[in-house]
Structure 1
Amino acid sequence: MSIPVIPFYTLPSAHDLPANRVQWKPDATRAVLLIHDMQEYFLRFYGTDNPLVHELIANISAIRRWAKAAGIPVVYTAQPAEQNPLDRALLNDMWGPGLTKADPALKAVVAALQPEADDTVLVKWRYSAFQRSSLQQLMQEWQRDQLLIVGVYAHIGCMTTALDAFMRDIQPFMISDGVADFTEQEHHMALSYVAGRCGAVLSMAQLLDTSVSTASPAHPVMNREQLRQLLLSYIDEGESEFADDDNLMDYGLDSVQVMSLVAEWEKYGIKVTFEELARKPSLNAWWTLYSQKQAA
C-alpha cells in the first residue's frame, strides 16, 4: 500500500522520446512552469544516494533558472502533512496515510529547489495539480495557456496533471528528463501517453533550445495572493480584517507607502503612477489595474 523503493534507472535521452501527435512549441510568453511534488517525502523512496535523483534535481534547477530568466511564472505543488482521512479519501486505500507528523521535515521541498519569494506554492490534494487548487485561475489571470511539467512521479501526478490540463484547453508539455518515476518502463509509458493523447514531450535541451527565441524580459509575475500579502505588510492588519473592496487608507495606508508600492510594481515590470493607485485604493481595484497593465 506504500510507495515502493525505487531503483536507479537512466533518464531518457532525446533519442528515446516518443513521436508527438501535435506540433506545439513552448512559448515563454504563454507558459507556466510546474514543479510537481518535489518534496523530501517523495524523493526518499529513491534512497539516500541514487544518481537518478541528483540528475533530476540538477535538470529541474537548470529549467527553473531558464524559466526565471524568461519571465515564466513558477508554481510548486506540495502535499500537506497529517491529512484528514476524509480529505485524503480514496488515497488512503491506494497509498496509505501519506505524510504524517512522524517527520515534519519530509514535507519540505528538496533544499536545492526551495521556492523563492515570487513563486507560488499550491496545496496538492489529488493526482492532478488542478484539483481543489487555484492553478487554472492563476493561469487565466496571467493569461497563460501552456504548462511545462517537471517533478515526480511521471506516470501518476505528472501524467494526470497533463491530461487534466488538456481537458481545460491548456497545452501541457512533459519534460522527459525533468520527471522521474517508479521504474523506467512506467516513465516511458507516461511519456508515450502524453505524446499520443494529451500533450507534447520534450527533453530539457529541446525545451531550452526551442524557447529561447520567444523569451520575454526577466520580470517575475505577481499573483493576487502576493499582492494581498504585500498590502498586509504595509498596513499590519490580519488577513481577515479587510475586505477586497475596502479603502485601504482606512487601515492606515499612507502616501509614502503608496509610493513604495509604485517601486514594488516596477520590480514586476509594471509602470504605475501614484495617481493611478490613489484613485481607488482597494485590493480589487489594484489587482484589476495590475492585470490590465500586465496584459498590455
Structure 2
Amino acid sequence: MRYTEEWVTARACAAYEGGCADFEVDASRTALLVVDMQDEFVRPGWSPFWVPGATRMVPRLRRLVDDCRAAGVPVIWTVFDDTHLGLDRPHALRHLPHGDAEWRRPEAAAVWGELGHRPDEVLIRKPSYGAFYDTPLDTMLRNLRRDTVVVTGTLTNYCCGTTARQAYERGYHVVVGSDVTATDDESRQEPELAVLRKGFARVATADEIASWISACS
C-alpha cells in the first residue's frame, strides 16, 4: 500500500481530535495531581500571572478533589516555588520571558484557600515546570503503589503538560482533565490537549474521571 499525503494527514488529525488511550482507570492504582493552583495563578487580581480560567474552574476541581478523597484516591498538590535559594532551578529558566520581572512571589507559595488543601495531603514545592523534576513525586507514587496519575491544575501547556509528559516517560498511565486544567491564553488550551491526547494521555472531563473512580472504588 502506498500511503498518500491525504491519508496520513487525515489519520493524524483523527488522533489529535479523538484519539483515546486504551487503559482503564482503577481508583486503587490512581493518584490525583493538583498542579500549581496557588495564589499566584488563581487568586483574582493578586499577581500579573493570574490565570482567570483557573479561577473559574475551581468549583469543578474542588468537586473532583472531594470525589477522589471519598474513593480513597490520594491527592497530591504542587506549587511552583523558589526552593533551595534557586540553585535547583534549571539555569536557562532565568532567561525566558515570564512577564513582569518586578513582581516577586511571597516567601512561600501557597495553594489558594478556596481549594481546601488539607494538612494530611502531600504538598510538593517544585523548582520548575514539571512536578517530577528534582522532586520526590516518583518515589511517593511508587510507595503508594500508584501507576496512574490524573493531572489537573494550571497552566495546561506548561506545568500540567510537562508533568503529563514526564509521567508518561516514567511509565505511568496519564489522564489529563480537559475542564480542570486552564492556561493564560484560552486559545492555547485545546491545541495542548490535542497533543497530549495523541501521544501522552487519556484526556477526559472531570465528570468522566469521577465516574471512572467511583465505579471501581
Report the TM-score, using the length of structure 1 for normalisation: 0.60
Q: Which has the higher strand share?
A: 2
Alignment correspondent of 1:34: 33
**Residue type at the aligned position of 2:26:** D
Instruction: Give the CA deviation at 1:87.
Output: 3.2
RMSD of aligned alpha carbons: 2.8
Q: Which has the higher helix share?
A: 1
The counterpart of 2:138, out of the listed 110, 115, 136, is: 136
Alignment correspondent of 1:163: 165
Distance in 1 of aligned mates of 2:211 and 2:160: 22
Instruction: Give the CA deviation at 1:211.
Output: 2.4
Farther off after superposition, 83-92 or 132-141: 83-92
Instruction: From the superposition, tell whether residues 155 and 136 of structure 1 become closer, same or farther in structure 2 (CA, over 3 Å).
Output: same
Q: How does 1:265-284 map to 2 (within 5 A)?
A: none
**Residue type at the aligned position of 2:27:** A
Alignment correspondent of 1:60: 61
Instruction: From the superposition, tell whether residues 106 and 167 of structure 1 become closer, same or farther in structure 2 (CA, over 3 Å).
Output: same
Distance in 1 of aligned mates of 2:53 and 2:39: 15
Instruction: Give the CA deviation at 1:182.
Output: 1.9
Contact in 1 for aligned 2:42/2:52 (Cα 8 Å): no
Instruction: From the superposition, tell whether residues 169 and 52 of structure 1 become closer, same or farther in structure 2 (CA, over 3 Å).
Output: same
| Cα shift readout 1:16-60 (whole Å, capped 9, x = no counterpart) | x9323422232211100000001111225x647987344311111
**Residue type at the aligned position of 1:128:** G
Instruction: From the superposition, tell whether residues 54 and 157 of structure 1 become closer, same or farther in structure 2 (CA, over 3 Å).
Output: closer
Note the residue ranges of structure 2 that are not aligned, 5 or more in a row. 1-15
Determine helix, strand or coil for the equivalent of 1:104: coil
Equivalenced residues, count: 198
Give the share of equivalent positions with the same residue, in percent: 24
Alignment correspondent of 2:73: 72
**Residue type at the aligned position of 2:24:** K
Determine helix, strand or coil for the equivalent of 1:212: helix
Alignment correspondent of 1:113: 115
Distance in 1 of aligned mates of 2:127 and 2:109: 14
Q: How does 1:7-46 map to 2 (within 5 A)?
A: 18-43=17-42
**Residue type at the aligned position of 1:197:** G
Instruction: Give the CA deviation at 1:198.
Output: 0.8
Alignment correspondent of 2:10: none
Higher RCO (C-alpha 8 Å, min separation 6): 2
Contact in 1 for aligned 2:151/2:160 (Cα 8 Å): yes
Alignment correspondent of 1:199: 201
Contact in 2 for aligned 1:80/1:99 (Cα 8 Å): no
Q: How does 1:140-159 map to 2 (within 5 A)?
A: 140-159=142-161
| Cα shift readout 1:156-208 (whole Å, capped 9, x = no counterpart) | 11011111111111011000010001222211011111110011100011111
